Structure 1
Amino acid sequence: MKLSYNWLNEFVDLSGITPVELANLLTMKTCEVEGFEPFMDHMAKIPVALIEELTKHPDADKLKICKVNTGKETVQIVTGAANVELGKKFPAALVGVKLPDGREMTKAKLRGVESFGMLCSGGELGITQLDYAPAKIDGLMPLPDDWKVGAPLSDYFGAADVILDIDNKSITHRPDLWCHFGFAREIAALLGKPLKKNPEEATFKTQPAKLPKIEIEGRSAITYCGAELAGFKVQSSPLARQLRLLSVGQKPINNIVDISNSVLFEIGQPNHAFDRSKLGELVRVDYSKAKEKIALLDGTTHELPEGLVVIRDGSTPVALAGVMGGAGTETTAATEKLFLESATFHRSDIRKAVSKTGIRSDSSQRFEKAQNPGKAKAAIYRFASLLAEEQGGVTLSEIAEVSTEDYTKTQPIIVTNEFIDQKLGHIGNRADSNAAILKRLGFAVEEKGATLVVTPPAWRKWYDITIGEDLVEEIGRFIGYKEIAIEPALVPCETPRSRNGVRELEHGLRDLSANHLHLTEVLNYAFHSENDLKADEFFCTASEAMRMQNSLHSDMAFLRISPLAGLLRSIQANYREEGNTRLFEIEKLMLPPENATLARREAYFYAGALTSEAEPALVAQEVGAIVSTILASCGLMRHDQVFTNEAHGIFNPGRSGTAGTKDKKIFRFGEIHPKILAEFGIKTRVWYFDALIENLLALKVENPTYRPPFAQPAVDFDLTLVMPKRGEFTALKAAAGVVQPLVRRDLDKTVLVSFEHVSTFTGGNLKENEKAVSVRAVWRNPTRTLASDEIKKLQDGLILKMQKAGFSLR
């Protein structure tokens, strides 16, 4: 979410608080501020300029020389704009000004004539998204004749601002913070400053009117308020309002839509303006019928499932409640009277509507978190006030309200100071007591000795502050967690009674995969679509997959039955940026029970997928080596591993296999079939392997036998080889020959036991398409120390192998 520093400053005095200090304060005590950046700061440096002289360029037919009065001086500017005109006013970016596209104005010569800046178009000013016709002209942006020469554009478009970018995840639990006033109230409490004004206390003179009857079916809404507004004209909003909305990511439309959005971003209360002439005499909130259709403002038409909350004009649905208005009752330039809706819906109903339709809006974002119904009337008053500031003669009817519950009641929370201090830990000298801190944050506190009876404010009671631990968090963040002393926990130091073999194996596999096999771990959703189920039915058939009753999205309706779909999506998202993508994942599947009397079985898996620009045969060899290394790490020695060529539906015919023991197949691996890759939008080869953790765990030797270290030293040999820049280490490894473990210690046989990557270098005297790779080869004879002539022969033989494979010695 984006926050305007200037907008916040309207509600709380931020003088003396820089954007950096504000961002740090919020990050340490409220939520994460991901960053901040200036907005339209160039507008304060660009003056209204008057063209006082206009002559043709002596050496260019399309260029003109302008004498431009900037208020402080007259400067010469050369322009090629066709619509430049003597006596007219245009924006002038002078030397030193930096435009939104990054260009900085400098003194220049255009065909021999000096120019000291540039006359600007709306595009060059970055304001073409405004509902302002001059900004959209293909040429210079003409300015009104009554604008003062020399005045900065910020006088008319609004002051330069700084926009703070809030991490939405860090305020999911704080519905009150999804607006500027909510943050201003929070900042005022943290700084100990009073609020300048409270837009939630807005009022407006009302008059009697005949309103449509409002009905609420069951619990389809908590409260619904409606009123009529008249005496206005639909037109463009003032430029300052438009630019303010643009600063928080909202495109201006017209004054009615813009004020509706301003109220939303200001106090967090969604609202909707219907054209009153297009509504009948009954507004009804109820639930959709199966296959009922509705056309929405975004131009889409949806066939609704049963049970979504809708707003009806009589019996016709005219809005998807809390999400988006309908296309048949929207305001237009001809609208003369509004029916303004401001309601509060149950967050579960809005989440259901978003999940079923796939539509998420600024309104639904706020309703999904739960909003305070007490703001519903305030939004209507605030809407009328803002409209009246623009146009005289605005009238507002009395507000009709229908509620299904008493939302004014608040359940107090009873805690003790001892409970709070015990949960928080030791804090040094504190300036405020627990009660004082809570009062600063807007809570009503009654002190009864060491007991506190705390009543949350209306804006914090909706799914936010409900238990004593919530109050502890409030006090802790207010004081600052860095003030809490770090002390060791006074608990007995005991050896765990039992080892968690699954967790130990997972940690070992992660270390091996990331640090030795050079794979990158990914975390994918544990949900499948119906197409995902059909992609791989190795562990479980699609018909046996578990469907969720309340899924996050229609494409996430089933619990995962295979790692394949998630890894392919990760490949699809990454392989275009990095041709050699190497991924692995350790998570769980939800599989059918072994028999009907048992619950479904959670089975952890280890799976990997990779792409490569190397020769397919080399990649296939590497995948086999990865599988073999993992099996060996789990206790299955390489000489006991059994590999078979075996076809499976997800793999390309003849390019797959299995690995395991002579009695059990543990891994399946191979190249994924192109038809499956096409379903995921992948146009490159993908190799894949997977196994269940329980099968790998069965290989673990509980009591490993001790093997003494070798008495004879190994021989190390480091060398640096030049290879293609896009080449892979596996090609070097293949050229070196078979790396063998020493199984028998009584045989007088010298073997290559290790061939490892040391470092990679590019640049220097290497060609652009080359790189130098340093490797370390290790030989060992278990029965004796190698003589120098034997070592020389091994080293020369390795160099010769590399040269024959096309890798030169550096």
Structure 2
Amino acid sequence: MIISKNWLNEWIDLSSVSADEILKTLNSIGLEVDGCTKVKIPEKIVIGYVKSKEKHPDADKLNICMVDVGSDSLQIVCGAKNVEAGQFVAVALNGAVMPDGMQIKRAKLRGIESNGMICSSTELGLAKTNDGIMVLDESIGRLELGKELNEYDIFNDVIIEVDITANRGDANSIHGIARELSVALDLPIKERLAYVDGENLPGIGRILSLHTHEKVKSLHMFRAFELMQNPSENLVTKLRLALIECSETHPMRRLCEYATHSTGVIFRMYDFAKISTDEKISIDISVGTHQESILKVDDKILGVAGVYQNKDTMIDESSKLILLEASYADPSVVSEYVGENKDIVKTNELYRSTRSSEPNLALGIDPIFERLSSQNIAKFYAGHQLSATKTEVKTISFTITDINKMIGQDVPKIEIVRILKKLGFDVAFTQESENINVKVPNYRYDIINIHDVCEEIVRIVGIDNIASAPMKFSESNRINDTLKRYKFALNLRKKAAAVGFYESVHYVFDSSDELRKLGFKECKTSIINPINNELNELRPTLVNHLLKSCEKNSKNQKKSIKLFEYGEVFDENANQSMRFGFVVSGLKFEPSLNNGTKVAQVDFMGFASMIQGIVGEFSLVPSSEMGYLSPFEQAKIIKNGDEIGYIGRVSIDVASERDLSKTYVSEIYFDRLANTNIQAQAYSKFPSISRDLSLIIPKDMKFKTIKDSINSLGLNVQFAPSDIYSSDELGDNVSLSIKFTFQDMQKTLEDEEVACLMDKILAKLKDDLNIGIR
């Protein structure tokens, strides 16, 4: 965005503000300055008046001019095509040093003496306004012969390039920048009197009618005029259009681009004759699929608001009756429409619309008609028509405490209100309450919530004016149930690896055929696009994958296989849960020099001990629910009274089918495991005493029955079976040896005390189970 101090002065009085202060202020309020150039015409360049012009006798392209510079008349040879008698021009006197370093001296050009030089804009270090000399007019101020050009504000200016971010379309104009500076510098915006058509002029309704859909999200203002001749441009306008690199050639389009850069309002001009042959046209504004506003006359599309204009309706040099439209389109609507139509040509109108143009349409349209009226070159149609649904006003509520907490510093309520009002917010509050309600101005499309309001206050107060505060490092507690379960599962996986298991990972999908053979129920939720026929169902168990991996390891000459997996399983209703699966197969250890070549096979007790080393102490209850397990070696795993899984040997049929040797599996229901801290318990410092007891019991009696009977005594004793013996002499009975360990917390037990305890145990077994010693 190119601005100049002189141009800004049309909207705000900056005569007492230095260029450095303007730059500093712009940066402080969030309008980053990308570059700054100071325009200063060198000394000894004055205003002259061309009294006469004659052709050079020896050069077709040179003219001999007599130029009045106030104190003298100078003969100057000039090669510009546009030099004419009666012009006020910029004259570089002898001794002047031009911006490019060239010094002006008396010289002879083809034998004719020349005293000075008539200058073009580029020779003075200004933007190019034309292909010849720069002709002066009173738009720069009152012309006085001999007066130096650097005494005029337009030639003693500051050109500033401001980087406008995409969310600040409101600052993408001279008026927008002036509006920002007026708040930061506490200077008033100059009042602009609206141009009013004469009361006796014909109304626009005679040639135009307008029909608008109720859901239109755009604003439109139409004005009509008959152009008798093209408008002329004064020097200041030419310099400013050259400064912003205006590429338009039609005078009316150049005038509109000047007004757009100055006010931010977007314009279009329609050739009335190209729209319709009727004396009156009817414009219909409807809503498209993306809420865009489409302008039509009959079936002919004039354009889409904020996006493009139909080229067939644009004015040209022959246009007479012109319909001028000022418009505003919702930026979100325009952006969505352009996003769906990638082939739309990027124009200045589209650039401004997507960033939000100026919605106060009269602000831009009135100066155009004022310029045409002052030159008396157009006949106007009185009045205008405005179409669109009323734009919704955003209201934001907050408290002073909320704002100051965000800022990190207390800003007085009266100062907050003053800043917001200067920025155009409609503020409602009471002195007694901290609550403030603000209505966002319609040109601030980017203000959405309290954080945006806070940003506005901070940038006007000035970030440098907010005291620094030390950063507080206060880490919040991130420990939650999810983290605890994750850490618990990770700990169990580490324990599994520590006791010799290798972790494996499989898909959550499994083979329905293999699962049916193992006796698992089918999941009611089917997979629409299975990976393949072998992975066509959500797995209800980890066992099948583990057995298949076990089979592959076995075929790769592994003699001792120990695998585990932690993963998801799904029941028949597709309810998800987490499980640990374990499998051991073959030998207890791989044969080696250390282990020997004759290693025993895995067994139930050894496998159960490994699982217990992972999940903690548990008890087993005989079971026969799992059809793929041996009915003689399977059990439910009970911990703290809850069933947490099962363990057992794979049946001989299943093992043979999969070419597996002796194999055991276990599944632990992870969701049923309690993640509790281990409580340290006191232990006895006194020696223990052991006793062995051999009992004659029936072959069909379970050790659990004996265990329950002994535990009912409530003795502080540990016991476990150590041997079992059977013979023909015993018949239907067996001899079960049980090892008892006695230990007291307070003292060393005497033999008599241990003997008394053993007698109690024998008496209890005799009374409850009718069994005794061998």
Report the TM-score, using the length of structure 1 for normalisation.
Answer: 0.50
Contact 2:119 2:134 in 1 (8 A): yes
Residue in 1 that maps onto 2:429: 447
Contact 1:202 1:382 in 2 (8 A): yes
Contact 2:55 2:62 in 1 (8 A): no
Contact 1:42 1:160 in 2 (8 A): no
Cα shift readout 1:776-800 (whole Å, capped 9, x = no counterpart): xxxxxxxxxxxxxxxxxxxxxxxxx
Residue in 2 that maps onto 1:701: none
Q: CA deviation at 1:472?
A: 1.2
CA RMSD of aligned residues (A): 4.4
- The residue matched to 1:136 in structure 2 has which SS? coil
Q: CA deviation at 1:400?
A: 1.9
Q: Which residue identity lines up with residue 312 of structure 2 in the other structure?
A: G
Aligned match for 1:274, one of 270, 275, 279: 270
| Equivalent residues in 2 for 1:234-383, closer than 5 Å | 234-251=230-247, 253-280=249-276, 281-286=281-286, 310-352=294-336, 354=338, 356-371=342-357, 373=359, 375-383=360-368
User: Quick check: 77-86 or 203-212, which moved more?
Assistant: 77-86
| Equivalent residues in 2 for 1:97-176, closer than 5 Å | 97=96, 99=98, 102-107=100-105, 116-120=115-119, 124=123, 130=129, 135-136=130-131, 149-150=145-146, 160-169=156-165, 172-176=166-170
Matched, 1:395 2:380: yes
- The residue matched to 1:455 in structure 2 has which SS? strand
Cα shift readout 1:316-339 (whole Å, capped 9, x = no counterpart): 233353244333222233333221
Cα shift readout 1:616-659 (whole Å, capped 9, x = no counterpart): xxxxxxxxxxxxxxxxxxxxxxxxxxxxxxxxxxxxxxxxxxxx
Q: CA deviation at 1:315?
A: 1.6
Residue in 1 that maps onto 2:474: 492
Cα shift readout 1:676-734 (whole Å, capped 9, x = no counterpart): xxxxxxxxxxxxxxxxxxxxxxxxxxxxxxxxxxxxxxxxxxxxxxxxxxxxxxxxxxx
Q: Which residue identity lines up with residue 370 of structure 1 in the other structure?
A: S
Aligned match for 2:186, one of 182, 188, 192: 192
Residue in 1 that maps onto 2:454: 472
Residue in 2 that maps onto 1:180: 174
Q: Which residue identity lines up with residue 182 of structure 2 in the other structure?
A: A
| Equivalent residues in 2 for 1:642-791, closer than 5 Å | none
Residue in 1 that maps onto 2:18: 18
Cα shift readout 1:535-589 (whole Å, capped 9, x = no counterpart): xxxxxxxxxxxxxxxxxxxxxxxxxxxxxxxxxxxxxxxxxxxxxxxxxxxxxxx
- The residue matched to 1:47 in structure 2 has which SS? strand
Separation of aligned partners in 1, 2:230 and 2:57 = 45
**1:98 to 1:328, Cα distance in 2 relative to 1, 3 A:** farther
Contact 1:77 1:116 in 2 (8 A): yes
Q: Which residue identity lines up with residue 11 of structure 1 in the other structure?
A: W
**1:361 to 1:417, Cα distance in 2 relative to 1, 3 A:** same
Contact 1:129 1:252 in 2 (8 A): no
Separation of aligned partners in 2, 1:62 and 1:461 = 55
Cα shift readout 1:351-380 (whole Å, capped 9, x = no counterpart): 35555235222222221112454x134443
**1:234 to 1:319, Cα distance in 2 relative to 1, 3 A:** farther
Residue in 2 that maps onto 1:92: 91
**1:319 to 1:72, Cα distance in 2 relative to 1, 3 A:** farther
Separation of aligned partners in 2, 1:224 and 1:55 = 54
Matched, 1:229 2:229: no
Q: CA deviation at 1:91?
A: 4.2
Q: CA deviation at 1:274?
A: 1.1
Q: Which residue identity lines up with residue 362 of structure 1 in the other structure?
A: N
Q: Which residue identity lines up with residue 94 of structure 1 in the other structure?
A: L
Separation of aligned partners in 2, 1:241 and 1:83 = 19
- The residue matched to 1:351 in structure 2 has which SS? helix
Q: Which residue identity lines up with residue 13 of structure 2 in the other structure?
A: D
Separation of aligned partners in 2, 1:6 and 1:480 = 26
Contact 1:387 1:394 in 2 (8 A): no
Contact 2:227 2:322 in 1 (8 A): no
Separation of aligned partners in 1, 2:374 and 2:154 = 16
Q: Which residue identity lines up with residue 316 of structure 2 in the other structure?
A: T
Contact 1:45 1:93 in 2 (8 A): yes
Separation of aligned partners in 2, 1:42 and 1:261 = 31
Q: Which residue identity lines up with residue 436 of structure 2 in the other structure?
A: V
Contact 2:107 2:113 in 1 (8 A): yes
Contact 1:29 1:477 in 2 (8 A): yes
Q: Which residue identity lines up with residue 34 of structure 1 in the other structure?
A: D
Residue in 2 that maps onto 1:694: none
Q: CA deviation at 1:412?
A: 2.5
**1:198 to 1:54, Cα distance in 2 relative to 1, 3 A:** closer
Q: Which residue identity lines up with residue 136 of structure 1 in the other structure?
A: D
Q: CA deviation at 1:17?
A: 0.6
**1:105 to 1:376, Cα distance in 2 relative to 1, 3 A:** same
Separation of aligned partners in 1, 2:353 and 2:86 = 53
Separation of aligned partners in 2, 1:215 and 1:486 = 57
Separation of aligned partners in 2, 1:54 and 1:256 = 35
**1:315 to 1:226, Cα distance in 2 relative to 1, 3 A:** same
- The residue matched to 1:397 in structure 2 has which SS? coil
Aligned match for 1:406, one of 372, 381, 390: 390
Contact 1:445 1:454 in 2 (8 A): yes
Compare CA radii of gyration and give the structure with the larger one.
Answer: 2
**1:147 to 1:488, Cα distance in 2 relative to 1, 3 A:** closer
- The residue matched to 1:20 in structure 2 has which SS? helix
**1:391 to 1:66, Cα distance in 2 relative to 1, 3 A:** closer
Separation of aligned partners in 2, 1:242 and 1:83 = 16
- The residue matched to 1:161 in structure 2 has which SS? strand
Q: Which residue identity lines up with residue 356 of structure 2 in the other structure?
A: A
Contact 2:67 2:73 in 1 (8 A): yes
Q: CA deviation at 1:40?
A: 7.8
Q: Which residue identity lines up with residue 7 of structure 2 in the other structure?
A: W
Q: Which residue identity lines up with residue 259 of structure 1 in the other structure?
A: L
Separation of aligned partners in 1, 2:312 and 2:148 = 42
Cα shift readout 1:384-430 (whole Å, capped 9, x = no counterpart): 22321232664233212221x321x4232211111111111135x97
Separation of aligned partners in 2, 1:282 and 1:61 = 57
Q: Which residue identity lines up with residue 295 of structure 2 in the other structure?
A: I
- The residue matched to 1:401 in structure 2 has which SS? strand
Aligned match for 1:483, one of 462, 465, 490: 465
Residue in 2 that maps onto 1:550: none
**1:484 to 1:124, Cα distance in 2 relative to 1, 3 A:** closer
Contact 2:266 2:358 in 1 (8 A): no
Report the TM-score, using the length of structure 2 for normalisation.
Answer: 0.52
- The residue matched to 1:357 in structure 2 has which SS? coil
Q: Which residue identity lines up with residue 340 of structure 1 in the other structure?
A: L
Q: Sequence identity of aligned pairs in percent?
A: 23
Contact 1:223 1:345 in 2 (8 A): yes
Q: Which residue identity lines up with residue 164 of structure 2 in the other structure?
A: N
Q: Which residue identity lines up with residue 376 of structure 2 in the other structure?
A: Q
Structure 2 residue ranges without an equivalent (≥5): 480-774
Separation of aligned partners in 2, 1:62 and 1:344 = 50
Cα shift readout 1:574-612 (whole Å, capped 9, x = no counterpart): xxxxxxxxxxxxxxxxxxxxxxxxxxxxxxxxxxxxxxx
Cα shift readout 1:225-269 (whole Å, capped 9, x = no counterpart): 323223652243333322222223324634422332232122211
Residue in 1 that maps onto 2:408: 425
